């Protein structure tokens, strides 16, 4: 009977120590991703660069085939598209700078920047304030719960002394016997 219990116990312990099939699969996927990225990252970057060059060459050849008026119109269209792209990138950089400034001013870590939304400075500042208010409220709730847990449900004295007690008596009661002995040997006295 005891052998069966020991075998069951050993079996349950070995099951707890062995990773599940899902964990093994996830581990293998992560390993494969790391291997893939390290092995092919430079190659992919080179292919992207070559692809971009070939795309530009193709566009240039297509422009050569057009008459002068059509070529000028295509170049203008291409320049406008490039200008729009640069403007969008500039606006995104400005937005990120506003978010970083607002987060810094609020005293929040940089990691919270991706949680902030807004299309202009006013919306961003409002979102940071709302986030800060919510964050502080949650922190205060958790602090309150922890304080209540540590106090064991007893309310703090709030600076008021219990009836009939002096500060010295309360300090005396809080001292260990060793501290009390040292206090008395240094010439201290208890007044009641």
Specify whether the CB–CB gap between 174 and 192 falls below 8 A. Answer: no
Sign of torsion, CA 55 56 57 62?
positive
**Radius of gyration over every alpha carbon of the chain, rounded to an integer in angstroms:** 35
Which is more confident, 47 or 191? 47
Q: What is the pLDDT of residues 70-100, one digit of tens each?
A: 878 878 888 999 999 999 999 999 999 999 9
Specify the pLDDT at position 192. 47
pLDDT at 156 over 70: no
pTM above 0.75, yes or no: no
Q: What is the pLDDT of residues 29-55, one digit of tens each?
A: 888 888 887 777 777 778 888 888 888
State the Cα–Cα distance between residues 128 and 106, nearest whole angstrom.
7
pLDDT averaged over the chain? 78
pLDDT at 164 over 70: no
pLDDT at 184 over 90: no
Sign of torsion, CA 76 82 88 93?
negative
pLDDT at 11 over 60: no
Domain spans of the chain, in order of start: 66-152
Name the percent of the chain lying above pLDDT 70: 76
Specify the pLDDT at position 166. 60
Residue 116: CB atoms within 10 A of its CB come to: 22
């Amino acid at each position: 009977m005891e052998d069966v219990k020991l075998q069951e116990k050993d079996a349950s312990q070995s099951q707890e120590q062995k990773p599940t099939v899902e964990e093994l699969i996830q581990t293998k996927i992560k390993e494969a991703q790391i291997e893939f990225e390290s092995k092919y990252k430079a190659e992919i970057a080179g292919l992207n660069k070559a692809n971009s060059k070939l795309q530009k060459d193709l566009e240039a050849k297509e422009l050569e085939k057009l008459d002068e008026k059509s070529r000028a119109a295509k170049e203008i269209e291409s320049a406008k598209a490039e200008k729009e792209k640069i403007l969008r990138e500039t606006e995104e950089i400005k937005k990120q700078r506003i978010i970083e400034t607002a987060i810094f001013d609020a005293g929040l870590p940089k990691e919270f920047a991706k949680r902030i939304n807004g299309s202009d400075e006013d919306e961003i500042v409002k979102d940071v304030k709302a986030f800060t208010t919510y964050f502080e409220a949650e922190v205060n709730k958790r602090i309150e719960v922890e304080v209540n847990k540590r106090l064991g449900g007893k309310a703090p004295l709030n600076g008021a002394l219990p009836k009939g007690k002096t500060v010295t008596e309360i300090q005396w009661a809080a001292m260990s016997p060793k501290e009390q002995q040292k206090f008395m040997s240094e010439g201290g006295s208890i007044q009641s």
